[in-house]
Amino acid sequence: MTEQGWDLLLLYGHTWRKDFFRCLVNFNFSGPHAVAAVDRSGEVRVIVSDQWDLEGLAAEGRASFEPGFAAGLSRFITNSGSAKIAVAGKELMQSRFTSTDHASATAAVEELRRVKSPEEITLLRQAAELSDRGYQHFANAAEPGMTEYELVAEVESFLKTNGAEDNFMLIASGGTEVVGMKPPTERKLQVGDSVTTELTPQVDGYYAQICRTLVIGEPSAKQLEAFAIFEEARQAAEDLLKPGVDIADVARVQNDVFRKFGYGEYTGSKYTRVRGHNLGLHPDESPYVLEDVNYIVKEGMVVIAHPNTYLPLSGYMVFGDTLLVTANGCTSLNTTERKLFRK
């Protein structure tokens, strides 16, 4: 704050994006809004918009409840007497909560969040371990005739029973007609389906992700051929990922594998979104692993590299682990077998 000339830093969260708030005050508020404010002395004050959140925060420092959040926040800012105010998460704020007088601290705080502390890595390991167990439950529960949303209900129940706060999860099932993933539908699983999932449990604020594909029945030759390409791409990313590498190259080496096999067109935005992303208090943090995103990887980052895309061989397929960047490379926080699962 001193370097930037900020007198007061506000970290804003709403029900969807609690991450900026939780990077300072790791409390899972019910919402819809919360702000943590820190001044140069290090004193932290919190404003919430739900009275039960206020009681839950009792041990977290000076907190207040403002049912009219906009007016309460405005009063707080005025009373702080701060000359220079910055807001992390300003872009997410309702316009009436902020003004052009407030600097955006979003990029600066995102950068601070990218390299994880030992305590954060411990939580991410716990989340990754839960994602492994969750995927095993997913694979055990999936069976022909079950709808996608019933399968997700089973996984959700397992994750919550085992302490997950939340879960980011996409799913798809079917054959070559499947071009991407979405929330679960009433479609029933059938023999021959590829069942794909990104499973991302949250433990004490932190998300870890696992991506695997499961075939109902025996995989076809084309499904096996496709999986071999995904496996080579995933391995290429993990072989490259280390401090000092440009994240764009982590995307490039994955895409090069698809190009080598003649499937380069399936590495673009028509068929896929990203080749991975950072993980932490939000399940989809920047930097994104894309060939046109340049960012030098640092030790202590936690990233998923996933070559998820559509291929005409198999339909959409997913594959990837949560990776901790170490001094000389990276290590997977997942222990789930790296294979094309079958049921």
- Candidate residues 60, 168, 235, 293; the one interacting with other proteins per rule CB under 8 A: 168
Closest to other proteins by CB, 156 vs 249, is 156
On the 0-12 / 13-18 / 19+ scale of CB atoms within 10 A, 119 is exposed
Considering only 11, 35, 36, 93, the residue that binds other proteins (CB under 8 A) is: 93
Please name the amino acid found at residue 120: E
Nearest CB to other proteins, comparing residues 164 and 248: 164
CA dist., res. 276 & res. 262, Å (int) = 21
Give the torsion through C-alpha atoms of 146, 147, 149, 150, to 10 deg.
-30
Q: Closest CB to other proteins among 282 and 330?
A: 282
Q: Select the residue interacting with other proteins from 140, 157, 294, 335 (CB under 8 A).
A: 157
Burial of 246 (0-12, 13-18, 19+ CB in 10 A): middle
Regarding 64 and contact with other proteins (CB under 8 A), the answer is no
Which one of 156-164, 237-245, 295-303, 335-343 is the stretch in contact with other proteins (CB under 8 A)? Answer: 156-164
Contact call for residue 226 and other proteins (CB under 8 A) = no
Q: Which of 210, 197, 212, 202 is CA-nearest to residue 282?
A: 202
- Bridge-based pairing of strands 206-207 and 194-203 is antiparallel
CB of 11: closest distance to other proteins in angstroms? 15
Of 16, 119, 335, 339, the residue at the interface with other proteins (CB under 8 A) is 16
Our CB check for other proteins shows the closer of 52 and 119 to be 52
Residue 300 has what DSSP assignment? T
DSSP characters over 71-90 = HHHHHHHHHHT-SSEEEETG
**Interface stretch with other proteins, choices 46-54, 129-137, 232-240, 252-260 (CB under 8 A):** 46-54
Reference 182, options 217, 208, 222, 152; nearest CA is: 152
Which positions lie near other proteins, rule CB under 8 A?
14-16, 28, 30-32, 49-52, 55-56, 65, 67, 70, 90-98, 149-150, 152-154, 156-163, 165, 167-171, 179-180, 182-186, 269-271, 273, 283-284, 310
